[in-house]
Amino acid sequence: MTAFTGRDVVVEFAIAKEDVLPASLVYQRLGMMRGKEMKSSWDTADTTADMSPSFTKTSLVTFKSVEFSGDGVTYTEAAFNQQAFKVQAVSPSAATDNQPKVWLRMTDLSGSVWEGPFIVTEWSDSASYSESVTWSMNCSSNGNVTYTPA
């Protein structure tokens, strides 16, 4: 397998509720991004008891949580779709019952894809005196997020 850089990973979004059919979505690329991170974790329930083997803890998984975080350089061109995403994050539309809901799709150069519904839990703009203006955001899964290897 060939290595690749993060700039080759594409993040796209669609403004929609979590109960839509993914095939019906029209995605827009979120442009001028720098960092892109998708993290999956499971909550567990302790199943250890007095007869657990070799005094070793045992567990079952209960719920999966997927977190996405990303950041980029602010650009004003509509082609980068930053304002459309920001409006949904900060002032959600009636199309999502005024909730900051989006679908995210992250595709890497190998063709592997993460896709699913998310809630935007944080949006931040940063305007340092002598640096470029940047933004960052965090999202939490709001339904089934899938990972499909290439």
What is the CB neighbour count within 10 angstroms for residue 10? Answer: 17
What is the CB neighbour count within 10 angstroms for residue 47? Answer: 10
Closest listed residue to residue 88, CA positions, set 17, 35, 26: 17
CA atoms within 13 Å, Cβ hemisphere of 105: 17
Please give the pLDDT value at position 2: 85
* Contacts of 53 by beta carbon, 8 Å cutoff, 6+ apart: none
Q: What is the pLDDT along the chain (150 residues), one digit of tens a residue?
A: 589 999 999 999 999 999 999 999 999 999 999 999 999 999 999 999 999 999 999 999 999 999 999 999 999 999 999 999 999 999 999 999 999 999 999 999 999 999 999 999 999 999 999 999 999 999 999 999 999 999
Domain spans of the chain, in order of start: 6-44+65-148
- Whole-prediction pTM: 0.93
In the chain, count of helices (H) and strands (E)? 1, 8
Please give the pLDDT value at position 1: 58
**68-81 burial, b for 16+ CB within 10 Å, e for fewer?**
bebbbebbeeeebb
Query: Which of the following CATH numbers is that of domain 6-44+65-148: 1.10.357, 4.10.410, 2.40.50, 1.20.120?
Result: 4.10.410
Kindly state the DSSP code that residue 35 receives in the 8-state scheme: E
